[in-house]
Structure 1
């Protein structure tokens, strides 16, 4: 689920005074079995990836932008290798998210301007098709258990945030009534009767649930409203959220779990060591993904580690070594089908791009 433009320019509601919490006093579990490795892709121009999806071991797609954000970028993984795919004419130049329900049903959404009027794409197993989008700034896309695509988007002026479902060959507004100025940036449509939408609002927590009939705004425990950045929905009793409590001192992000009846809030290991007046890019907080075993992977885009949470304790697992002169941010993580493998993508450097994988 990724992050660009509308998400990138969203300001935190408070000035963020960020301190380094590190792992002091945090119990560490044994590292999961396996290792993170990186695949290098060359031959691109100023590439960046913002979304990745993997319906099974043999197929994956990653989307983003290239050529100084002037052209869309689609990479397909098959037969053990990544390769570029051509985007249809008119595709928005900055693809921000991608989701799938099998190798023949993949959806991507993008942001752009000028002649790039097509904001969403569909892959049917043979070719990509450009599809018009009802808002100027699509933010995320998800595909439910029946193969129907859901998406969230808004307008460039921040108005019109809404949830849409692809029905009858068009994007249909699913009736989530939101206050003006509400930001939606996270979406997980597990089934048509179990959909989560996350974001930030001026009243309460930025989290809503749809049961197939109506939307309910949810209340996460805590003294401050939560800005919900990411959602991973595995079952009605197993949903994970990556959030920012909007307290005046910006205590840092949290990992929140829903068990079907109540929320549990866990502080994440925080790498932040500087004062930030604004979150210029929501991607600076990274992403989460299921580990396929009841826990969660987290990459916080500020350290040389992937964080693993087994439901009780944290583990820090080293990222793959590289010679880029730093650690590329990780904008999106995706579990590979129902396995314990995970893909991680982010921006590149020059003509080089690294895609991480745990297995």
Structure 2
């Protein structure tokens, strides 16, 4: 199986970040904060077969959740799966034949959901899928493009990043028609995209070199501009979590030869601040860099100005950052949440895990 290079598909593609376990000096001395109310709980869902992962999750309202991924991963009979929650409970939903993994899920409302799914070789088959409230069907993407990431803005526009030949693209779909929004003359790929309105879109991805500029672009409704990322090493933008024009979170990996873990970055409308995740040995609130192998985790805004993070180098804890301080929460099981999302206008967080289970925090 060879899914696209993205934050969620990276582990399934068989690639790994390999580095020595390094400890560095503390990156900050933030005090420990009181955790938000509510506990993380495991939610019963239809069981998946064999080795399974839930790589994309969307929750457009308090009554509906869509969690997609794969079961029997790495096996000849691996297949894409989609679990759906309605007021009646959780069910499995049929997917088009021949797909082995769902990499991303985005939803505007319960009868308008989009997903990216791949066949055994993503270069040969990557499908854009749509749920209309009754079934999943394939929808044509931008012609000649291999899609990597999708996002739905608040006006209903569907944004997609992709690769077309030797170029990287961003396209937008409105009223059933695709329009190219950005073309970059290199195939490095933009594997993360987030949008508020049609005039506030962020796209990021993997740097062309370790010391080149970090590929982070912003669209203001008139033009795309490359956003400076002040660091010695280029960063791989793994995930972008849009809350408001002056409240955007970036989960990123420094492309340093020392293989540091992912870091959390915040845009306040005028500047970035960087925040290192605590390592497993740190007391609550202290921040220390540490190396990481394998799959890279996920983040979700909490609706109160902070963000939740799940990291593979510390699966015994879920981490919460309120903008100043870190707190640690115990997950239902010591595994990584591969995908996380917040129900709009609530503090409810849903997560899909590396073992095909679903968690909820309320």
Out of 314, 319, 336, the position equivalent to 1:307 is: 319
1:41 and 1:205, CA in 2 relative to 1: closer, same or farther beyond 3 A? same
Taking structure 2 as the reference length, the TM-score comes to 0.84
Query: Is 2:166–2:186's contact at 8 Å kept on the other side of the alignment?
Result: no
Q: Which moved more, 1:58-67 or 1:267-276?
A: 267-276
Q: Deviations over 1:174-203 (max 9, x none)?
A: 2232434x2321110221111111111223
Shift of the alpha carbon at 1:18?
3.6
Deviations 1:306-331 (A, max 9, x none): 100000000001111x4xxxx33221
Q: Quick one: structure 1 residues 208 and 139, their matched pair in 2 at CA, closer, same or farther if it must change by over 3 Å?
A: same
Alignment of 1:1-359 (within 5 A): 3-4=8-9, 8=13, 16-20=19-23, 25-46=29-50, 47-68=52-73, 70-79=78-87, 81-89=89-97, 92-113=99-120, 117=125, 119-134=127-142, 137-154=146-163, 159-180=166-187, 182-202=188-208, 203-271=212-280, 281=294, 284-301=295-312, 302-320=314-332, 322=333, 327-348=334-355, 353-359=356-362
Question: Cα RMSD between the aligned structures?
Answer: 2.9
* TM-superposition CA deviations, 1:152-185 (whole Å, max 9, x none): 2337xx94432222234244332232434x2321
- Does the C-alpha gap of structure 1 residues 230 and 7 become closer, same or farther in structure 2, counting only changes over 3 Å? farther
Contact 2:46–2:91 (CA under 8 A) maintained in structure 1? no
1:55, distance to aligned residue in structure 2 (A): 0.9
Q: Secondary structure at the match of 2:357?
A: strand
Moved more, 15-24 or 206-215: 15-24
| C-alpha spacing 1:289/1:114, structure 2 compared with 1 (3 Å) | closer
1:2, 1:97 within 8 Å by CA — same for their partners in 2? no
Which whole-Å CA distance do the structure 2 matches of 1:136 and 1:16 have between them?
Answer: 33
Aligned length: 339
Structure 2 distance, partners of 1:275, 1:339, is 34
Cα offset for 1:223? 2.1
Q: CA deviation at 1:43?
A: 3.9
Task: Report the Cα offset of residue 132 of structure 1.
Answer: 2.9
1:7: Cα distance to partner? 8.2
- How far the C-alpha of 1:25 sits from its partner, in A, is 4.6
| CA drift at 1:112 | 1.6
Alpha-carbon contact 2:147-2:162 (below 8 Å) kept: yes
Change in Cα spacing, 1:275 to 1:118, as seen in structure 2 (3 Å) is closer
Cα separation, partners in 2 of 1:44 and 1:124, compared to 1, 3 Å: same
Q: Which sits farther off after the overlay, 302-311 or 125-134?
A: 125-134
